[in-house]
Each structure stands twice: as structure tokens, then as C-alpha cells.
Structure 1
Amino acid sequence: MIKRTAEEIESRRARRAERRQKQRDANIARAAKMHIARLASDPLIVITSDDNVARRVHIGCSGWYYWHWKGHFYPTDAPSNQLFSIYQHNFKTVELNAPFYSWPTVATVKTWKRQAEPSFVYTIKVCELITHIKRFEDTHALIEDFGYVADVLGMQMGCFLFQLPPSVRYSTDMLQMILSQLDPRRRNVVEFRHKSWWNEDVYSAFQAAGAIFCSCSGPRLPDELVRTADDIYIRFHGIKQWYRHDYSDAELTVWAERIKLSGAKTVWAYFNNDRDGYSIKNAKRLLQMIDASA
């Protein structure tokens, strides 16, 4: 194992911060271009949240483009342009994390649509420009613009996932600001990372707005399934450590039973524990459990 000096570590951090800032600056320009594209589009092509999902159980991974999956899931010698084909041979849905960091271009979204089979469904994590930079401060137009992704994907669009940072704690003002800006035509999921949001006032407000409260399996977060709509949405991050927990059959059985008892019409579940390919194994196993209990 190579040991790095303090100077090398600090240099890497500085370069990473510089790249992230450039990415964030670029997101503003990309959002502006999508705004123009949305305004120029035919409003009649808007796909509502209830039009586009035939299957009722959607289980997959949070992301699919991981080099460290080579040797675990992808063949070691598989070229990068074949990885998605391998992924969708095993799963019928994916939660895309990349749009969180980089606001997608229309061309990129069209590539997603073109590369996928007609039955494949994408869930899209909304850009941090909305959730982390502006934190929903006057983001109604930005949310509408990002929603154009769904119009381009059409029948292959699943959910929009809005993830808030752990520093955002519950308040009635923040709750109202979030829900008042969501587009009711879309299937909107909101993931909180602070436990204060797990309360009945939030659940009631989500139900009234038709929004989906994201249930989380994650460190220091309430371990429960919350249903606020006909759809339920679960993200599996890990129990004691983020992104690196290998869920046991016993742990997955608990969630399979919760899903069954929820009475939800549609299930969305994504595994974000990508370390060592655990998400692949765990997603397949949960899908087997759900299918067996159907």
C-alpha cells in the first residue's frame, strides 16, 4: 500500500476542490441551456408520473459506472462502452447519481434513452445546484428546467430524487419551501439526511402534496419504512458505514417484509453500497425475496 505524505494529500484535496468548483460553475450554464430547450419544446409531450411505469417493483443500484466493479460484476477486460449493456442485462432500472454532480445536457439525456432497452427505467438524482447550493431558495424555475429530463426520457422516466444535505434540519418553513416548488406532474422523491425529518407533520405534508418520502437504510438514520404515497422509495447506503455494508439475508428479509406489509402499489429500491460490488449482490437478493413473496 502506497503511503502519501501530508503535502500530497493536501494537494489532492485542492485539485479535487478545484474540479468540483469548475463543475458547479458549469452547472449554471448547463441549466440555462436546458431552460432554453424546455421553453422551445412542445408542452404536449409532457409525460406525467402515472403514465410511464408498467412494472410495480423496481430494484437496482445507485449508479452503474464503477471501475472497481470490474472483476466483481463486469469482466476485467470489458470495454467501457459495454458496461451499461451488462448492467441492464441484470437489472431493469438504475438510479443515476452523475446528474447530481453535473447537470446533464439534452444530448446526454438522449444518449441515456438511446442506450437503454424500451422496458428500462431511469431514476434521476436532481442536481446539487438545487438541493445543496441553493437549498431550494427560489428554485422553482430550475426544478421545472431539470424536469425537462423526464420529457426527453418519456416512458423510461422513473423518479426524480431530491437529496438534502445532513446540515438541513427540519423546520416548517423549509418543509413548505420544498414541497411548494415540486412539480406535481412528476414522481418526486425527497431524501433527508437528518433524523429530525422523520416526524408526523412531515409525513402528513408529503401525503397532501403527493410526494414520496425516501426511506433510508443509513448510519444514524431511523430504520423504518415510511409511506406517504402509492409509491415507496428506499435507498440502501449501509448500516454502520456509508456505502460499504454487505446486507445479510436476515437484514434484507426485514425490509422485504416491510415492503410487503406497506401495501404500496409501486416499489423503488436502490442500493448505494457500491464498495466491493455489494450493491449488485444485495439488489439481486432483495429482488428474489420480493418475487418469492408476490
Structure 2
Amino acid sequence: MPQPNWFAHYASVFDTVEINASFYSWPTIANVQAWRRQPGGKGVVYTVKDCELITHVKKFKGTKTLIRDFGIIADILGEQIGCFLFQLPPSYRYTKARLAAIVSQLDPKRRKALEFRNKSWWNEEVYRALRNAGIIFCSCSGPRLPDELVRTADEVYVRLHGRERWYHHNYSDEELLKWASRIRGSGAKRAWIYFNNDYDAHAPDNAKTLHRMLAPFRLKRMAPRPT
């Protein structure tokens, strides 16, 4: 189909999209307004990945003002804002000081998810701190990371990158059923689930399959769109 129709087609199938361009380049107000104006995109909920300046360059050192300024995106998107996702690099290991620095800088008024790429963050100290702060622990399906769903808030967040190779995996029905069972059993009010881009473009089919597996659960438990 013509490229201008791509997003409308996407929006006819899925409820939400995760914006990753914002990780590489700080979005302007015009950028964010353009997301809202995309043809066929009315009602689509945008989750926005915070800029690497915060997570990879400064690594949460003195970034409270940057995080606050980035949060203006939510004011522009209004009811179409989903989560703010903070992804940390694999080299960033857990310490109590780092955990405290992260939690102290995140605005409790915003819906936030933290994605760690180092398995040292899968521990009870982290879970407890995020629960107390109302921050979502991002469960991450990826090589050398714990294959489990962690819930630290009323909502869960899952990113599926590929079990054995990053961005190069076609999830089987058995693997997706396992995630569907975990999500249903979590008791979460809402689940944010995203498949990463992969080299062979399996993500759309995998997402549709998991979407279908969760359909009965969605009809029973789906909450109103976030405000």
C-alpha cells in the first residue's frame, strides 16, 4: 500500500506504538504534534522511549531537569500518552546508589517503565524500590536475561527482542503462550507489550498472535485508555 497509508493500517490492528526515534534524537514540539496528526492515528496510544542523553550518556547523573523537560511530551499528547520508557545499557550494573539516583529523579505523576539490560537488576531490592515508587519494571525477553515477568506496579510492561539473538527471532506459539499465561496470571490492570524490530520482520505476526491469545483476557480486563 502507499506509504502515507501505513500508519492508518497499523492503527487498525494495534492499540499502541512505542516511539524509539526519541531515544536517538530529542523530539521537538513539532515532532510530537505530528504524531498526533498522523492519518488514522486518532486514539492510538504512544509510549515514548527517553533520550539516550539521560540513560546512556549521563546515566542518570544530574538528569532530573532533563527528565522533567522530556516529560512535556505527555502534556502535548494528552490522553494519547502511554509510558515513558527508560532503557539502560548492558554495562550498567546494579548498585544501591544507582537505584536510589534513578528512583529519586523520576516524576511520580508520569507513567514510567525501566528496562535493564544487565541481569544484576533482577533482585528484590530493585523490585521493592520500584513498587514503593510506583515504577514499572520492564520485563525483557532477550539473550542472557532472566526469562520471567516481573510486576512492580498495577501495570506490566514487556519488550520482546528475541530469546537467543537480539532482533533476530521468530517467537513460536509455545513461547507466546508462555508470555500470555504470565500476563494473564500477573493480575495487572493493563499490559504494555511491544515486539522490537527484527531483521526478518517477524514482529508484526508475533504481535498479532499474542494479541489474539490475549483477546479473551482483554475483553474481560481492559481498562479505559490512560488519561
Q: Scaled by the length of structure 1, what TM-score is found? A: 0.72
Aligned length: 217
Could you tell me how far apart the structure 1 residues matched to 2:201 and 2:212 are? 17
Shift of 1:86: 2.0
Shift of 1:106: 0.2
Could you tell me how far apart the structure 2 residues matched to 1:114 and 1:152 are? 12
Instruction: Look up the match of 1:97.
Output: 20
Instruction: Look up the match of 2:36.
Output: 113
What does 1:170-185 align with in structure 2 at a 5 Å threshold?
170-185=94-109
Q: Indicate the RMSD between aligned Cα atoms, in angstroms.
A: 1.1
Could you tell me how far apart the structure 1 residues matched to 2:125 and 2:25 are? 33
Instruction: Look up the match of 1:199.
Output: 123
> 2:115 touches 2:139 (CA, 8 Å); kept in 1?
yes
Instruction: Look up the match of 1:4.
Output: none
Instruction: Look up the match of 2:144.
Output: 220
> 1:242 touches 1:273 (CA, 8 Å); kept in 2?
no
Question: Which structure's CA Rg is the greater one?
Answer: 1
Which amino acid letter does the alignment assign opposite residue 208 of structure 1?
N
Please say if 1:145 is aligned against 2:145: no
Percentage identity across paired residues of the two chains: 59
Could you tell me how far apart the structure 2 residues matched to 1:177 and 1:122 are? 26
Instruction: Look up the match of 1:255.
Output: 179
Q: Which runs of 5+ in 1 are unaligned?
A: 1-74
Deviations 1:102-135 (A, max 9, x none): 1000001000011153321000000001000110
Hey, which of these two has a bigger chunk of helix by percent? 1
Q: Which runs of 5+ in 2 are unaligned?
A: 221-227
Shift of 1:277: 1.8
Q: Scaled by the length of structure 2, what TM-score is found? A: 0.93
> 1:238 touches 1:273 (CA, 8 Å); kept in 2?
no
Could you tell me how far apart the structure 2 residues matched to 1:97 and 1:286 are? 21
Which amino acid letter does the alignment assign opposite residue 167 of structure 1?
S
Point out the more displaced range, 100-109 or 271-280. Answer: 271-280
> 1:216 touches 1:234 (CA, 8 Å); kept in 2?
yes
Report runs of 4+ in structure 1 exceeding 3 Å deviation.
none
